[in-house]
Structure 1
């Protein structure tokens, strides 16, 4: 996919993406509050017409333009594009809007012209949202928190491949421990994978042809991923800091989120 232009509307950069988009009602309310505080009466009256003209989106009207209703209820892609339209009217609010996206853990970045983009790309964002959706149950609270924390390492301001891998590993380990149950193991390693997870998978897939071979290959893949990711879990003396190249970190994180989806589906 061609790189999106700076300052472009989200709906025009990613309109064909089937990706489930990251959203937050708190972020929407914060944006609405800053929008209302930063715009003049004339700008507030013109903004709905700009939204309709640029996005073709509905803008509620009840004895006057219902701005809060638009910001809180609009489609996610329209919400993101409307932020860009707002920044075009109030460029001094760019830093405020950028901070809201980051502070509310929305998985986007804002360029210097107010355009909003995925932190990585649509495919990675799809994997992230699918993994988070699988962890949206009480027993996976710790795993979800760990994944969210790891994703913060993708922030353009403090990007860290090691931080991303560390958060994903913790999320995988936490969800793994939930699946194998209490009083079995207390960490994710080859011994616990082969000794605990193997039996669960064999029982689940026993009706499939060559189930043992299929399960063995999955376990081999998981153990290889654990070996690859494990060194980044630990600290090191300052002069030996082992930061992960971001391309390798994204590969590791994508694989890890696949295992999160597997474990979430086993519950």
Structure 2
């Protein structure tokens, strides 16, 4: 269900749309807790165990099967743990839906997915719950497509470190306020990790990338082809991106980088996602060519 599917149901939703926010406020917490409470049903103890096992925090305490004070529980959690609890319940409901003959858990899962994303959409929270039960930062569809393609490009074990850096990009974007400098730095580290695997260089710089990746492009694509010309044009853009991203590389003893404005953060991170995917593809293509 997309954001456009949620029809405003109150005056405020129609005419007083809140400013974009991280979701860390009393209204969002309460609405998420009520959605949580509805989806839990009578499975309080099992869900408590799921939270403790997956999130690593104490679950709610109360009167056994009849404990239902989820709003109070959510009120005192760190915001990241609220998001992680959403994932824990989603995972629990999904497992139940896959193992139980009854459709009860499938229905609860569908409604919970819808309810959480409704809260995020109506409260203008810069987050969304995906079909795997993970809460991601949300900018717009184009940004999400770039992120998805980058993640798909680093799914194999050789890219585990790069994948961790991409996870850290999301963590930075979900902070309140958003840590754009850290997000840019982390997507740079993801690109640098793949580049270092390709070249054995110890650092990603404009000069080294231009020198080494021109050779990779010449290896992967047919000499004199339009593919070589296009790839080298993109390489030039990548080299400029490296220079820009270095502005947010915080070295020991150096001043903390200032936060970029939103539009530069989005541009830098989404471009970084594209370059991460391109580097992972180049690495695979070069390996095939050598074989």
TM tier, smaller: 0.5 to 0.7
Question: Which of 227, 236, 239 is 1:223 aligned to?
Answer: 239
Deviations 1:26-82 (Å, cap 9, x if unpaired)? xxxxx69962358999xxxxxxxxxxxxxxxxx99x785532x4456x5xxx65314
The Cα of 1:106 is off from its aligned counterpart by 2.1
Aligned residues of 1:151 and 1:167 also touching (Cα < 8 A): no
Deviates more, 1:199-208 or 1:134-143: 199-208
Question: Which of 41, 46, 60 is 1:36 aligned to?
Answer: 41
The alignment of Structure 1 onto Structure 2 pairs a total of residues equal to 198
Counterparts in 2 of 1:38 and 1:208: CA distance versus 1, 3 Å: farther
Unaligned residue ranges in structure 1 (runs of 5+): 10-30, 42-58, 88-93, 109-118
Aligned residue number for residue 136 of structure 2: 107
State how far apart, in whole Å, the 2-side matches of 1:239 and 1:176 are.
Answer: 27
State how far apart, in whole Å, the 1-side matches of 2:101 and 2:194 are.
Answer: 50
Aligned residue number for residue 150 of structure 1: 169
Runs of 4+ in 1 over 2 A off after TM superposition: 3-9, 31-41, 62-66, 69-72, 82-85, 207-216, 235-241
Counterparts in 2 of 1:5 and 1:239: CA distance versus 1, 3 Å: farther
Counterparts in 2 of 1:84 and 1:259: CA distance versus 1, 3 Å: closer
State how far apart, in whole Å, the 2-side matches of 1:264 and 1:238 are.
Answer: 31
Deviations 1:184-242 (Å, cap 9, x if unpaired)? 31111123212321111111112552555434322211110001111101158797641
Aligned residues of 2:184 and 2:265 also touching (Cα < 8 A): yes
* Aligned counterparts, 1:1-267, within 5 A: 35-36=40-41, 65-67=103-105, 69-70=106-107, 80-83=113-116, 106-108=135-137, 119-155=138-174, 157-178=176-197, 180-181=198-199, 184-207=200-223, 209-210=225-226, 213-235=229-251, 241-266=257-282, 267=284
Output the aligned Cα RMSD: 4.2
Q: What SS does structure 2 have at the residue aligned with 1:234?
A: coil
Aligned residues of 2:184 and 2:268 also touching (Cα < 8 A): yes
The Cα of 1:83 is off from its aligned counterpart by 3.3
Counterparts in 2 of 1:70 and 1:238: CA distance versus 1, 3 Å: farther
Aligned residues of 2:187 and 2:272 also touching (Cα < 8 A): yes
Q: What SS does structure 2 have at the residue aligned with 1:107?
A: strand
Give the alignment's TM-score, normalised by structure 2: 0.55
Q: What SS does structure 2 have at the residue aligned with 1:144?
A: helix
Q: What SS does structure 1 have at the residue aligned with 2:155?
A: coil
